[in-house]
Amino acid sequence: MTREELTRAFLSSKTNNFVLQLPTSYGKSKLALQKIEQWYHEKCNILIVIPRNVLINNWKEEIVKWKYNKYLPNVTFTTYVSLHKHCDKVWDAVIFDEGHHLSERCRTIMTGLRFKHIIALSATLNKDLLFYFTHTFKAEVFHIRVKDAIDADVLPDPKIILIPLDLNNRIDNQVIEKNMKKGALGSVKIIPFSEKWKYRSYKGPLKITCTPRQYYNDVSNLIEWYKERGKHNAIMKNMWLHKAGERLKWLALQKELIVKDLLKELRNFRTLVYCPSIEDSLKIGSPCINSKVGTKSLALFNEKKIKHIAAVGMLDEGSNLVECKVGIFKMINSSDRLTIQRIGRIMRHKSPVLIFPYFVNTREQEIMEEITKDYNPELIVKLSPSLLTNIKKWL
């Protein structure tokens, strides 16, 4: 379905409530405003629910951009956290931006929220929320996948550069810590990885020196142990998921040098790097956007005063990037939602390039196989780390 066909179908529908599950950059906010214009030619009370207050300006810019300024005086913005404060009036229309944030708590609040129409916007609603909107509010769903949007020429077909890496198994530069909780008896004992099994029953604090590959394998064994027990134990399941997330963050941290080399080669290209933590984003040398330093660098980037930025979380939703051609995924997430949102930031460019340095024979390789299966294989290239000086020819 083309964008024009979807727009016609959406605007011709007589349903009162809608879910627009469309890819990032598809134009969800414009469609929602068009529908409100169709419902109400004159003034109306609109509630726009957003994940974070920093997205208010983005919405105001969209409203002005599409020439719906007349509605602005009667638009109220609120976060999902503050949704309960708006049950004291009847809303002509409620827009749930990034609707996947509608938690169980918010759904309880919804029983007291009075409205005539709702429109939920998201690229990544799960089945539970789809069921909620369709069965509770009889919402009509318009769903377009990223692949379908690319095939219909609504979104550009990105080039994907994969850089397979090997975890070092020669140099002992990692430490596995055991029994290091406060109050553990005895002094810390430091041993090499080869002696690990001699101390498997040791109860005192222990540090085991090892290679990155040995560290990864040790963590993976622990994750599998938690995963097996997590089938019937909620605490163990939470430990499994937590450790699995920590493993991906650790893998991302091992890519500092390769990402710095990439940024040198891409110094003339507008580039965003997705990082695993605030501390890590500070190390790669690009201006940062995170909860500690805020979004000042985003403004500089969009004004084209700088070419490189590094982000931790704050650009995942609702943020517009001006002509950002290259996305470097230092952090590779297992969450489909995060991956779709982060790729979507780069898909706003007319010829986007996605770069994924990843470690082979790790969880990252499994995730990459899932990510790439929906994209044009003719535009996917594997590049050896030793050939980074040739990367510009693929851009």
Cα 56 to chain centroid distance, Å, stands at: 19
Cα 179 to chain centroid distance, Å, stands at: 34
Give, in order, the Cα–Cα distances in Å from 61 to each of 29, 40, 47.
11, 20, 16
CA distance 240 to 209: 24
Question: Tens-digit pLDDT profile for the chain (395 aa)?
Answer: 788 999 999 999 999 999 999 988 888 999 999 999 999 987 899 999 999 888 898 899 999 999 999 999 999 999 999 999 999 999 999 999 999 999 999 999 999 999 999 999 998 899 999 999 999 999 999 999 888 888 888 888 999 999 999 999 999 999 999 888 776 667 889 999 999 989 888 888 999 999 999 999 999 999 999 999 999 999 999 999 999 999 999 999 999 999 999 999 999 999 999 999 999 998 988 999 988 888 889 989 999 999 999 999 877 776 788 999 999 999 999 988 888 889 988 988 999 999 999 999 999 999 999 999 989 999 999 999 988 988 988 88
CA distance 200 to 241: 24
pTM, two decimals, is: 0.84
CA distance 215 to 180: 16
Q: Mapping DSSP to helix (H, G, I), strand (E, B) and coil, where does residue 227 land?
A: helix
Q: Mapping DSSP to helix (H, G, I), strand (E, B) and coil, where does residue 176 land?
A: strand
CA distance 313 to 276: 9
> Span 3-149: which CATH code?
3.40.50.10810
> Where in the sequence of the chain do the CATH 3.40.50.10810 domains occur?
3-149
> Where in the sequence of the chain do the CATH 3.40.50.300 domains occur?
159-166+255-394
- How many other CB atoms are there within 10 angstroms of residue 268's CB atom? 9
* Dihedral angle over CA of 31, 34, 38, 39, nearest 10: 70
Q: Mapping DSSP to helix (H, G, I), strand (E, B) and coil, where does residue 35 land?
A: helix
> Span 159-166+255-394: which CATH code?
3.40.50.300
CA distance 128 to 107: 12
